[in-house]
Structure 1
Amino acid sequence: MTESRTVVVERDLPHPAAKVWRALTQPHLMAEWLMKNDFAPQVGHRFNLRGDWGGVLDCEVLTLEPERKMSYSWDFNHEDPAYSLKSVVTFTLEPTESGTHLRMEQAGFRPDQKQAYGGAHAGWKQFLENLDQLLAKD
Structure 2
Amino acid sequence: MTERLAVNAYGRLAEPQTLVIERLLPGPASRIWAYLTDSNLRRQWLAAGAMEEKAGAAFELVWRNDELTDPPGSRPEGFGEEMRMKSRVLELQKDKRLVFTWGESGEVCFDLRPEGDEVLLTVTHRRISDRANLLMVGAGWHMHLDILQAHVTGGRTAPFWDGWLKLKGEYDTRLPA
Q: TM range, normalised to the smaller chain? A: 0.7 to 0.9
1:63, 1:69 within 8 Å by CA — same for their partners in 2?
yes
2:135 corresponds in structure 1 to 118
2:63 corresponds in structure 1 to 51
1:89 corresponds in structure 2 to 108
1:80 corresponds in structure 2 to none
1:67 corresponds in structure 2 to 95
Counting only pairs closer than 5 Å after superposition, residues 100-115 of structure 1 correspond to structure 2 as 100-110=119-129, 113-115=130-132
Query: SS at the partner of 2:27?
Result: coil
**1:103 partner amino acid:** T
1:21 deviates by: 0.8
- Residue among 108, 117, 123 paired with 1:98: 117
- For residues 20-46 of structure 1, the C-alpha deviation after alignment (integer angstroms, 9 at most, x for no partner) is 111111111011111121222221111
1:93, 1:101 within 8 Å by CA — same for their partners in 2?
yes
**2:50 partner amino acid:** D
Larger radius of gyration: 2
Higher RCO (Cα < 8 Å, 6 or more apart): 1
Report the number of matched residues.
124
The alignment's TM-score, normalised by the length of structure 2, stands at: 0.65
Aligned mates of 1:133, 1:42 — CA distance in 2: 28
1:98 deviates by: 3.4
**1:71 partner amino acid:** V
- Stretches of 4+ aligned residues off by more than 3 angstroms: none
Aligned-pair Cα RMSD in Å: 1.6
- Structure 2 residue 41 is the aligned partner of structure 1 residue 24: no
Aligned mates of 2:137, 2:30 — CA distance in 1: 26
The alignment's TM-score, normalised by the length of structure 1, stands at: 0.83
1:79 corresponds in structure 2 to none
1:4 deviates by: 5.6
- Structure 2 residue 23 is the aligned partner of structure 1 residue 11: yes
Of all paired residues, the percent bearing the same amino acid is: 26
Task: Give 1 or 2: higher strand fraction.
Answer: 1
Can you give the 5+ residue segments of structure 2 that lack an aligned partner in the other structure? 1-14, 65-79, 155-177
**1:68 partner amino acid:** K
